[in-house]
């Protein structure tokens, strides 16, 4: 009697134990599955950068998944963690504006390296495109229609995003700064068609293919591939700058040379010079000209 009761209790305990373990196993599998899902999501939405020295994963930059359906906000000023490397600081900053960071070695990454400086702009009224490359005229127009534009004083039809135009007018109030053409539109905000026309003037499909494959980059300092120009964003202007006073006035108002070899081209970054390195910018002197380039 005592024996069988004891056996019964042991048996009951055994079944309870089995039931408990099964539950725990199912629960743990559930967690694992959701972790796995999170990882899959991660690889899809993150860009991993590799350290060239040891070929190890050094950093991951992820798209904020909760932000995919809303406009990236620029109302709160962002300062990257200064313990990060230049490249990490730059990428952390532009992730605030650009929801998908191009994958290293891609055509878009090459474009980001050459023209991505504008994405560091922290001025709340400045708008940046959702991606580094517009595919056609319609897409470009659609973005341009969302911009608040302003006129550059004493020009026929030179327009920039209003805050960029205001900053440029301010610089021009300090010192005379002539536009490349002397008066007008093509030096300022351009259409996709104008960008394409300029490209065809200096390059062709063959050049484009070489840029796509990463075999040609110098052309990017002469002309931007169709759909990739900063001039499409209303944040660039081509100028004839010949003295230090002009450079100083432009820099003091947030304008910098950012595209290597493109001496005439100025970008509205909207930051004081002493803060540029905080965001990962590198100072580069090419053929005696000072550029602030991306660290990519
Ligand atoms: Zn330009």
Instruction: Tell me, in angstroms, the distance from the centre of ligand 1 to residue 159's CA.
Output: 13
Contact 277, 271 (CB under 8 A): no
Q: Read off the pLDDT of each residue in 92-116 and give the average, rounded to a whole number.
A: 95
Instruction: Tell me, in angstroms, the distance from the centre of ligand 1 to residue 219's CA.
Output: 13
- CATH entry, 63-293, from 3.30.160, 2.60.40, 3.30.1380, 1.10.287: 3.30.1380
Q: Say if residue 63's pLDDT is above 50.
A: no
Instruction: Tell me, in angstroms, the distance from the centre of ligand 1 to residue 102's CA.
Output: 23
Q: Read off the pLDDT of each residue in 222-250 and give the average, rounded to a whole number.
A: 98
Contact 117, 254 (CB under 8 A): no
Per-domain boundaries in the chain: 63-293
Residues, CB-to-ion distance under 5 Å, ligand 1: 238, 265
Picking from 20-29, 108-117, 130-139, 236-245, which range would have the lowest pLDDT averaged per residue? Answer: 20-29
pLDDT bin (cut points 50, 70, 90) of residue 183 is: confident
Q: Say if residue 205's pLDDT is above 90.
A: yes
Instruction: Tell me, in angstroms, the distance from the centre of ligand 1 to residue 265's CA.
Output: 4
């Amino acid at each position: 009697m005592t024996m069988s009761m004891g056996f019964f209790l042991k048996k009951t305990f055994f079944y309870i134990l089995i039931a408990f373990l099964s539950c725990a196993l199912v629960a743990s599998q559930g967690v694992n599955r959701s972790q796995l899902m999170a990882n899959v999501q991660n690889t899809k939405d993150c860009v991993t950068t590799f350290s060239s020295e040891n070929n190890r994963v050094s950093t991951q930059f992820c798209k904020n998944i909760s932000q995919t359906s809303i406009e990236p906000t620029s109302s709160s000023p962002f300062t990257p963690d200064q313990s990060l490397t230049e490249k990490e600081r730059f990428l952390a900053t532009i992730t605030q504006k650009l929801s998908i960071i191009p994958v290293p070695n891609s055509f878009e990454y090459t474009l980001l390296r050459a023209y991505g400086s504008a994405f560091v702009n922290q001025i709340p009224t400045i708008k940046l495109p959702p991606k580094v490359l517009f595919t056609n005229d319609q897409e470009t127009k659609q973005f341009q229609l969302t911009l608040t534009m302003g006129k550059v004083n004493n020009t026929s039809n030179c327009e920039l995003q209003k805050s960029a135009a205001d900053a440029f007018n301010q610089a021009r109030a300090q010192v005379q700064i002539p536009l490349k053409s002397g008066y007008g539109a093509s030096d300022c905000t351009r259409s996709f068609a104008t960008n394409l026309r300029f490209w065809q003037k200096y390059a062709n499909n063959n050049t484009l293919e070489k840029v796509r494959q990463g075999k040609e980059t110098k052309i990017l300092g002469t002309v931007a591939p169709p759909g990739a120009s900063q001039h499409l964003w209303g944040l660039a202007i081509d100028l004839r700058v010949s003295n230090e006073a002009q450079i100083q006035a432009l820099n003091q108002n947030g304008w910098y040379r950012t595209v290597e070899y493109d001496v005439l081209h100025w970008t509205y970054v909207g930051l004081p010079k002493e803060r540029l390195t905080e965001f990962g910018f590198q100072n580069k002197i090419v053929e005696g000209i000072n550029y602030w380039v991306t660290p990519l």
